[in-house]
Amino acid sequence: MNITKTNVDALNAVVTIEVAKEDYASKVEKILGDYRKTASIPGFRKGAVPMSLIKKQYGKAVVLDEVNKLLQERLNQYLVEEKIEILGNPIPKETKEFDFDADAFTFEFELGLAPEFSVDLSKANVTRYNITVSDEMLEEQLERIQKQFGALVTKEKVEDGDDLKGTFVNEEAGINHTTSITVDTFKRKTDIKKFIGKKVGDVVTVNTKGLFDDEHKLMEYLGLDHEAVHGLDVEVQFTIEGITTNTKAELNQELFDKLFGAGVVNSVEELKEKIKEDALKQFEQQADQKFLNDVTESLLENTKFELPAEFLKKWIQTVGETPLTADQAEEEFAKSEKGLRYQLIEGKVVTENNLQLTFEEIKTYAATVIKQQMAQFGQTDPSDADVENIVNRVLSNQEEAKRLSDQIMSEKIVNLFKDKVKATSKDVTFDEFVKVMYGEA
């Protein structure tokens, strides 16, 4: 078997494979011999069918199958050995009718070659946000904790500060969302007064414009997406389905132990520090995601290279279960081009910075995640054997193993970017960060 590659240009090539009869003949003969042993053809005893008849009935199909297997095996082997990086999969070029009596066959495959380029992380121009925890936020969290662990009291009439369960409705605007809300969450005092004295079953009408101190709260309370809430100016009816209030829990050692375990927190000041610590961890994850997104966009903008676009469109036409038209393939390519470009950039970053994963890393990460999940359900000290059993079970699921691997690699990439990307650091409150996240700052 002879394999050669001809470069069409920097991004396209053709691989030619010459297959001789001796490359596959012995396998074909063996398979046909096995068929002969089991073939059941009228007029012949089982195992006594003439080989000429077996070849006539099965020969062409077996030759085609074996030649195809041989082609795939040797082509893949050739690409690996020659370290040829391709995009998509090789596309077989159309050949004239297959001549089963020929002593040799020639096949050609089109390749889309991965482009040569470099990634300069120093060109990324981004801001890295540090989300701070304000005193006001700490007090709100303390208030929330006291209400959460206080005694719940059902009431007949609404008073200021009560919690309501009910449903916001405006059918024309597609709003029909059941939620829980505290009366003083509404921004306007006139809206709050509308609820005072109301009972279960009463309906209160309010306008969405300026209903809360932040339009984003409409997403939570009205069940709308981000695009729908901006400038929303409609009347909504809120049907009251429940009225409750919480007597606040005392900030004492019993509550501290209930929240964090015996002796972990011993004063209100320590509680505030613990709340702040947990909030900063959560904020850091959100800020890291924003940082990763911004670096990604910057790298896409500053890393220029060509793609074998025509080849990829042709490949897209054939890769799915249902063949696509040229126009459909053009549309799919347009949708996927940006993702493909970043996939190539990320691959280059991973390779050049040796960001490989080991199985032990994945196991350790999975064990950490599992322990955190178990702690949430009160299992704060699981045995190593129990954790290992769960880890093995989780990693036996390929989708779950891939999800964990992607999370670890994402963390590695974020840490690399933190180290190598020259970003401008900026402290912001959480509310300011939300506006930046949605492009409103």
Domains of the chain, with CATH numbers? 2-113 (3.30.70.1050), 151-247 (3.10.50.30), 281-437 (1.10.3120)
Task: Please give the Cα distance from 262 to 143 (Å, whole number).
Answer: 22
CB 157 within 8 A of CB 240: no
Q: What pLDDT, on a 0 to 100 scale, did the predictor assign at position 3? A: 94
pLDDT above 90 for 188? yes
Q: What pLDDT, on a 0 to 100 scale, did the predictor assign at position 231? A: 87
CB 76 within 8 A of CB 61: no
Q: What are 305-357's pLDDT values in tens digits?
A: 999 999 999 999 988 888 899 999 999 999 999 999 999 999 999 999 999 89
pLDDT band (50, 70, 90) for residue 98: low
Which of the pair, 409 or 59, is modelled with greater confidence?
409
> Element (H or E) spanning 104, and its range?
strand 104-113
Nearest CA among 430, 345, 386 for reference residue 137: 430
pLDDT band (50, 70, 90) for residue 88: very high
Query: What residues pair up with 153 in beta bridges, in sequence order?
Result: 245
CB 348 within 8 A of CB 117: yes
pLDDT above 60 for 388? yes
pLDDT above 90 for 247? no
pLDDT above 90 for 7? yes
Q: Give the chain's radius of gyration (CA, Å).
A: 33
pLDDT band (50, 70, 90) for residue 96: low
Nearest CA among 131, 136, 133 for reference residue 426: 131
pLDDT above 80 for 22? yes
pLDDT band (50, 70, 90) for residue 441: low
Residue 71 token pair:
């082609």
Neighbours of 122 (CB within 10 A): 9
3-class DSSP string for 222-287: HCCCHHHHCCCCCEEEEEEEEEEEEECCCCCHHHHHHHHCCCCCCCHHHHHHHHHHHHHHHHHHHH
Least confident range from 30-44, 62-76, 162-176: namely 30-44
C-alpha distances (whole Å) from 433 to each of 88, 285, 286, 287 are 39, 13, 9, 8
Q: What is the mean pLDDT of residues 15-29?
A: 89
Q: What are 417-440's pLDDT values in tens digits?
A: 999 999 999 999 988 898 888 776
Q: What pLDDT, on a 0 to 100 scale, did the predictor assign at position 148? A: 84
pLDDT above 60 for 41? yes
Q: What pLDDT, on a 0 to 100 scale, did the predictor assign at position 440? A: 67
Say what percent of the chain tops pLDDT 70: 98
3-class DSSP state of 431: helix
Whether the model clears a pTM of 0.75, i.e. scores above it, the answer is no
* DSSP letter, residue 291: H
CB 17 within 8 A of CB 67: no
Range ranked top by mean pLDDT from 50-54, 222-226, 258-262: 222-226
Q: What pLDDT, on a 0 to 100 scale, did the predictor assign at position 42? A: 78
Give every strand in the sheet of 2-9, ordered side by side: 2-9, 12-20, 104-113, 86-92
Q: What are 44-83's pLDDT values in tens digits?
A: 877 778 888 888 888 888 888 988 899 999 999 999 999 9
Residue found under tokens 């011999």? 33
Label residue 80 exposed, middle or buried (CB < 10 Å: 0-12, 13-18, 19+): exposed
pLDDT above 90 for 259? no
Task: Please give the Cα distance from 343 to 354 (Å, whole number).
Answer: 16
CB 418 within 8 A of CB 394: no
Overall size of the chain counted in residues: 441
Q: What pLDDT, on a 0 to 100 scale, did the predictor assign at position 50? A: 84
